[in-house]
Amino acid sequence: MKNKYTFLMIPPDHGPTRQFQVTLKGRRLVITGLCSLGLLVISLFSYTLYLSHTVGSQQAQLAAMVQLEQENEVKDQEIARLKEESLQVTQDISQIQELELKLMSILNLDPSATPSFSTTGTKSTASAGLSRGEAAPFASQAVISDPEQISHELNLLQDYYNLALAYQEEIEHTPSLAPLKIPLTVASEFGYRRNPFGGYSKEFHNGVDFPCDYGTEVYATAAGVVSVSGYDRVYGYLIEIDHGNGIETIYGHNSRLLAKVGDKVEKGDLIAYSGNSGRSTGSHLHYGARVNGKTVDPLQFTDFTKEQ
């Protein structure tokens, strides 16, 4: 019995007592088993702690990934909106350019030049809408980046285009073009001036004089019918055009006339070549206008100034 251990189990109700005998070797096995079990429990506890930490870290990463996905979704929506906005802007700009060309065609403006209205306020209904003070704001005259502003410019240009279409015939018969396609300088303005042939007397000048080289092309400033084409002792080789609505234009001191009486001319048609005929001190074009038979300053129909 030296190498054995006896375990007695005494029930609390004083029932039969039981005993177990364990050898020294068995005791070692029991102790070893208990230690192993303890190590297993410690290992499981440590592993549980590790898993808990790992899961917590992964949950943080998962939350970060979810946030990134949400941010990416927002950015994708913003990119899609910007693409749609960019497409709309491109379409609007294309329409603006198309309307500009159509409008410049109606107003006989040079597409290669900076777009601008030259028609100024007259007593007609058409010019009341397309006057000097209400020149249409072409989009190419300013740098525009705001889509709303581009849309506004498109709508405004569309309104002017519709107005131009409604009064196209009246616009065609309004003398708003320059009679010469050269940089203009006004040598003598409309109104009273000193006699250009000397002395201190004054005379009324019923037009404006544009200095130019002999033989410079002269163009009709509006559509109409040639009412006078011939030689005048004062204005030399002279052309007068009746544009209707009581408006007439005069082109004097030419060297050669191309349009004849009764010819229908369109706005911008070549009608003569400048010269020095008649009562003149040098090669130039005398350009005048009448409204309802009354002589008026022809520059009232245009934006051309003495400086230009």
Q: Kindly report the CATH number that applies to the domain delimited by 191-300.
A: 2.70.70.10
Summarised one tens digit per residue, pLDDT across range 192-207 is 877 766 666 778 888 9
109-164: pLDDT as tens digits: 666 654 443 333 333 333 434 443 334 444 444 444 577 888 888 888 888 888 87
- Round to whole Å and give the CA distance between 137 and 113: 15
b/e 93-104 (16+ beta carbons within 10 angstroms → b): beebeebbeebb
More confident residue, 14 or 175: 175
Confidence of residue 34 (pLDDT cuts 50, 70, 90): confident
Domain boundaries, given as residue ranges, for the chain: 1-10+17-112, 191-300
* Dihedrals phi, psi of 74, to nearest 5 degrees: -65, -45
Q: How are beta strands 224-232 and 264-265 bridged, if at all? A: antiparallel
Tokens found for residue 12: 């609390």
**Which pTM was predicted?**
0.54
pLDDT in the model for residue 212: 95
Task: Give the CA-trace dihedral at 109, 110, 112, 114, to 10 degrees.
Answer: -40
